[in-house]
Amino acid sequence: MQPTTFDLFADNEPVQQPRAEQIGEQSWVLRGFALPQVEQLLTELEAILAAAPLRHMVTPGGFSMSVGTSSCGQLGWITDRSGYRYSSVDPLSGLAWPSMPAVFADLAHEAAERAGFPGFQADSCLINQYVPGAKMSLHQDKDEKGYAAPIVSLSLGLPAMFLFGGFERSDKSQRIPLLHGDMVVWGGVDRLRYHGVLPIKPGHHPLLGERRINITFRVAGDQ
Ligand code: MD3
Ligand code: FE
Protein backbone atom coordinates (compact mmCIF):
# COMPACT_ATOMS: atom_id res chain seq x y z
CA MET A 1 0.00 0.00 0.00
CA GLN A 2 1.30 3.45 -1.00
CA PRO A 3 1.19 6.37 1.37
CA THR A 4 -1.05 9.11 0.01
CA THR A 5 1.38 11.86 1.03
CA PHE A 6 5.11 11.96 1.46
CA ASP A 7 6.16 11.47 5.04
CA LEU A 8 8.74 14.16 5.74
CA PHE A 9 10.15 12.19 8.65
CA ALA A 10 10.26 8.82 6.91
CA ASP A 11 14.04 8.52 7.49
CA ASN A 12 13.52 8.70 11.24
CA GLU A 13 15.34 12.02 11.38
CA PRO A 14 15.04 13.39 14.89
CA VAL A 15 12.22 15.92 14.90
CA GLN A 16 13.59 19.32 15.95
CA GLN A 17 11.80 20.42 19.13
CA PRO A 18 10.31 23.88 19.19
CA ARG A 19 13.32 25.70 20.59
CA ALA A 20 12.15 29.24 21.35
CA GLU A 21 9.18 29.66 23.70
CA GLN A 22 7.75 33.13 24.13
CA ILE A 23 6.83 33.73 27.78
CA GLY A 24 6.14 37.48 27.61
CA GLU A 25 5.86 40.25 25.05
CA GLN A 26 9.67 40.54 24.95
CA SER A 27 10.76 37.44 26.86
CA TRP A 28 11.91 34.12 25.46
CA VAL A 29 13.04 30.75 26.76
CA LEU A 30 15.66 29.24 24.44
CA ARG A 31 15.53 25.54 25.28
CA GLY A 32 18.93 23.84 25.30
CA PHE A 33 20.58 26.88 23.72
CA ALA A 34 23.80 26.52 25.75
CA LEU A 35 24.16 22.74 25.47
CA PRO A 36 26.86 22.80 22.75
CA GLN A 37 29.10 25.01 24.96
CA VAL A 38 28.48 23.44 28.37
CA GLU A 39 31.87 21.83 28.75
CA GLN A 40 33.75 25.08 28.00
CA LEU A 41 31.37 27.05 30.20
CA LEU A 42 31.98 24.75 33.17
CA THR A 43 35.76 24.93 32.74
CA GLU A 44 35.63 28.74 32.80
CA LEU A 45 33.17 28.73 35.68
CA GLU A 46 35.51 26.61 37.78
CA ALA A 47 38.35 29.10 37.24
CA ILE A 48 36.12 32.07 38.14
CA LEU A 49 34.92 30.44 41.35
CA ALA A 50 38.50 29.56 42.35
CA ALA A 51 39.39 33.29 42.15
CA ALA A 52 36.09 34.68 43.47
CA PRO A 53 34.47 31.99 45.65
CA LEU A 54 30.73 31.69 46.17
CA ARG A 55 29.54 33.34 49.38
CA HIS A 56 26.22 33.81 51.15
CA MET A 57 25.70 37.55 51.08
CA VAL A 58 23.64 39.37 53.69
CA THR A 59 20.62 41.46 52.72
CA PRO A 60 20.08 44.97 54.08
CA GLY A 61 17.53 43.41 56.44
CA GLY A 62 20.25 41.19 57.94
CA PHE A 63 19.27 37.84 56.40
CA SER A 64 21.81 35.56 54.80
CA MET A 65 20.78 34.56 51.26
CA SER A 66 20.15 30.81 50.71
CA VAL A 67 21.76 31.24 47.27
CA GLY A 68 25.57 31.40 47.08
CA THR A 69 26.79 34.17 44.76
CA SER A 70 29.84 35.42 42.90
CA SER A 71 30.46 37.50 39.77
CA CYS A 72 32.69 38.08 36.81
CA GLY A 73 33.02 41.00 34.42
CA GLN A 74 33.50 44.72 35.06
CA LEU A 75 30.78 44.92 37.70
CA GLY A 76 29.52 42.43 40.28
CA TRP A 77 26.24 42.58 42.18
CA ILE A 78 26.67 42.70 45.94
CA THR A 79 24.54 43.14 49.01
CA ASP A 80 25.36 43.85 52.65
CA ARG A 81 23.81 45.74 55.57
CA SER A 82 24.20 49.01 53.63
CA GLY A 83 22.21 47.87 50.60
CA TYR A 84 22.18 46.29 47.16
CA ARG A 85 24.54 47.65 44.49
CA TYR A 86 27.11 46.86 41.82
CA SER A 87 30.81 47.05 42.62
CA SER A 88 33.91 46.83 40.42
CA VAL A 89 35.72 45.17 43.34
CA ASP A 90 35.04 41.82 45.01
CA PRO A 91 34.62 42.75 48.69
CA LEU A 92 36.02 39.34 49.73
CA SER A 93 39.39 39.79 48.00
CA GLY A 94 39.51 43.55 47.52
CA LEU A 95 40.45 42.83 43.88
CA ALA A 96 38.66 43.31 40.56
CA TRP A 97 36.23 40.51 39.68
CA PRO A 98 37.60 37.87 37.29
CA SER A 99 37.15 39.01 33.70
CA MET A 100 34.26 37.68 31.66
CA PRO A 101 35.39 34.75 29.49
CA ALA A 102 34.76 35.18 25.74
CA VAL A 103 32.61 32.04 25.68
CA PHE A 104 30.27 33.67 28.25
CA ALA A 105 30.07 37.02 26.47
CA ASP A 106 29.54 35.43 23.05
CA LEU A 107 26.82 33.07 24.26
CA ALA A 108 24.90 35.92 25.93
CA HIS A 109 25.25 38.08 22.81
CA GLU A 110 23.90 35.27 20.62
CA ALA A 111 20.96 34.48 22.92
CA ALA A 112 19.96 38.14 23.12
CA GLU A 113 20.12 38.45 19.34
CA ARG A 114 17.90 35.38 18.96
CA ALA A 115 15.33 37.05 21.21
CA GLY A 116 15.34 40.31 19.25
CA PHE A 117 18.00 42.30 21.13
CA PRO A 118 20.99 42.71 18.80
CA GLY A 119 24.26 44.22 20.05
CA PHE A 120 24.00 43.00 23.67
CA GLN A 121 27.30 43.44 25.50
CA ALA A 122 27.15 42.47 29.15
CA ASP A 123 29.41 44.25 31.65
CA SER A 124 28.26 42.10 34.56
CA CYS A 125 27.78 38.41 35.10
CA LEU A 126 26.18 37.23 38.34
CA ILE A 127 26.63 33.61 39.34
CA ASN A 128 24.00 32.11 41.65
CA GLN A 129 24.38 28.64 43.16
CA TYR A 130 21.34 26.85 44.56
CA VAL A 131 21.53 23.67 46.61
CA PRO A 132 18.30 21.75 47.32
CA GLY A 133 16.00 23.96 49.40
CA ALA A 134 17.59 27.23 48.22
CA LYS A 135 15.17 29.71 46.64
CA MET A 136 14.85 33.28 45.49
CA SER A 137 11.81 35.25 46.64
CA LEU A 138 9.84 37.42 44.21
CA HIS A 139 11.77 40.60 43.41
CA GLN A 140 12.50 43.09 40.63
CA ASP A 141 15.99 43.71 39.26
CA LYS A 142 16.37 47.46 39.71
CA ASP A 143 19.99 47.92 40.75
CA GLU A 144 21.28 48.44 37.21
CA LYS A 145 21.90 52.00 35.99
CA GLY A 146 19.37 51.67 33.15
CA TYR A 147 16.83 49.16 31.89
CA ALA A 148 17.27 49.51 28.12
CA ALA A 149 19.29 46.31 27.81
CA PRO A 150 17.73 42.89 28.43
CA ILE A 151 18.88 40.41 31.08
CA VAL A 152 20.06 37.07 29.75
CA SER A 153 20.15 33.98 31.97
CA LEU A 154 21.73 30.56 31.69
CA SER A 155 20.61 27.59 33.80
CA LEU A 156 22.92 24.67 34.58
CA GLY A 157 22.50 21.55 36.71
CA LEU A 158 19.37 20.71 38.71
CA PRO A 159 16.03 21.91 37.33
CA ALA A 160 14.22 24.89 38.82
CA MET A 161 10.68 26.21 38.80
CA PHE A 162 10.97 29.85 37.78
CA LEU A 163 8.23 32.33 38.73
CA PHE A 164 7.52 35.02 36.17
CA GLY A 165 5.17 37.60 37.60
CA GLY A 166 3.74 40.99 36.74
CA PHE A 167 4.61 44.53 37.69
CA GLU A 168 3.29 44.32 41.23
CA ARG A 169 4.35 41.73 43.77
CA SER A 170 0.75 40.57 44.19
CA ASP A 171 0.21 39.92 40.44
CA LYS A 172 -0.31 36.29 39.47
CA SER A 173 2.89 34.61 38.24
CA GLN A 174 3.49 31.97 35.58
CA ARG A 175 5.57 28.93 36.56
CA ILE A 176 8.23 28.03 34.03
CA PRO A 177 10.51 25.00 34.44
CA LEU A 178 14.15 25.81 33.66
CA LEU A 179 16.45 22.93 32.77
CA HIS A 180 20.17 22.40 32.26
CA GLY A 181 21.29 24.33 29.16
CA ASP A 182 18.21 26.54 28.90
CA MET A 183 18.66 30.27 28.39
CA VAL A 184 16.11 33.00 28.96
CA VAL A 185 16.10 36.57 27.71
CA TRP A 186 13.99 39.27 29.41
CA GLY A 187 13.87 42.76 28.03
CA GLY A 188 11.88 45.76 26.94
CA VAL A 189 8.46 45.91 28.51
CA ASP A 190 9.16 42.74 30.58
CA ARG A 191 12.42 44.01 32.09
CA LEU A 192 10.92 45.11 35.42
CA ARG A 193 8.63 42.17 36.02
CA TYR A 194 8.68 40.48 39.41
CA HIS A 195 10.35 37.08 39.33
CA GLY A 196 11.69 34.40 41.63
CA VAL A 197 12.68 30.76 42.00
CA LEU A 198 10.82 28.10 44.06
CA PRO A 199 12.92 26.01 46.47
CA ILE A 200 15.09 23.61 44.46
CA LYS A 201 14.08 19.96 44.85
CA PRO A 202 16.68 17.40 45.94
CA GLY A 203 18.27 15.58 43.02
CA HIS A 204 21.50 14.72 41.29
CA HIS A 205 22.71 16.15 38.02
CA PRO A 206 25.31 14.10 36.12
CA LEU A 207 27.61 17.11 35.51
CA LEU A 208 26.89 19.38 38.47
CA GLY A 209 25.82 17.02 41.23
CA GLU A 210 23.47 18.36 43.93
CA ARG A 211 23.22 21.94 42.71
CA ARG A 212 21.83 24.41 40.21
CA ILE A 213 23.91 27.25 38.83
CA ASN A 214 22.22 30.26 37.27
CA ILE A 215 24.29 32.85 35.48
CA THR A 216 22.75 36.20 34.57
CA PHE A 217 24.32 38.57 32.07
CA ARG A 218 23.53 42.24 32.49
CA VAL A 219 24.42 45.74 31.43
CA ALA A 220 24.70 47.19 34.93
CA GLY A 221 26.77 50.32 34.29
CA ASP A 222 26.64 52.88 31.49
CA GLN A 223 24.57 51.59 28.57
C1 MD3 B 1 12.84 38.12 34.83
N2 MD3 B 1 17.98 34.99 39.29
O3 MD3 B 1 19.82 36.83 39.92
S4 MD3 B 1 16.93 34.08 36.32
C5 MD3 B 1 18.64 37.23 39.85
O6 MD3 B 1 17.38 31.68 38.46
C7 MD3 B 1 17.59 36.23 39.55
O8 MD3 B 1 18.89 32.60 39.68
C9 MD3 B 1 17.07 33.93 39.07
O10 MD3 B 1 16.45 36.57 39.60
C11 MD3 B 1 17.83 32.64 39.04
O12 MD3 B 1 18.29 38.41 40.00
C13 MD3 B 1 16.18 34.09 37.90
C14 MD3 B 1 17.10 35.70 35.96
C15 MD3 B 1 16.18 36.84 35.76
C16 MD3 B 1 16.84 38.01 35.88
C17 MD3 B 1 16.19 39.17 35.65
C18 MD3 B 1 14.85 39.22 35.29
C19 MD3 B 1 14.85 36.85 35.42
C20 MD3 B 1 14.17 38.05 35.18
C21 MD3 B 1 14.21 40.47 35.06
C22 MD3 B 1 12.90 40.51 34.70
C23 MD3 B 1 12.21 39.33 34.59
FE1 FE C 1 16.34 38.77 39.59
Confidence of residue 14 (pLDDT cuts 50, 70, 90): low
CA of 79 to the centre of ligand 2 (A): 13
Share of the chain above pLDDT 90, in %: 91
Q: Which fold has domain 34-218?
A: Jelly Rolls (2.60.120)
Q: Choose the residue to mutate in 72, 125, 128, 173 for probing ligand 1, maximizing ligand atoms within 8 Å of C-beta.
A: 128
**Which ligand is nearest to the Cα of residue 158, counting in written order?**
1
How do residues 27-65 score in pLDDT, each as one tens digit?
Answer: 999 999 999 999 999 999 999 999 999 999 999 999 999
Confidence of residue 1 (pLDDT cuts 50, 70, 90): very low
In sequence order, the 6+-apart residues with CB closer than 8 A to the CB of 163 are 138, 173, 174, 175, 176, 194, 195, 196, 197, 198
With 80 as the cut, is the pLDDT of residue 25 above it?
A: yes
The mean pLDDT of 186-207, rounded to a whole number, is 98
The mean pLDDT of 173-191, rounded to a whole number, is 98
Q: Choose the residue to mutate in 179, 195, 197 for probing ligand 1, maximizing ligand atoms within 8 Å of C-beta.
A: 195
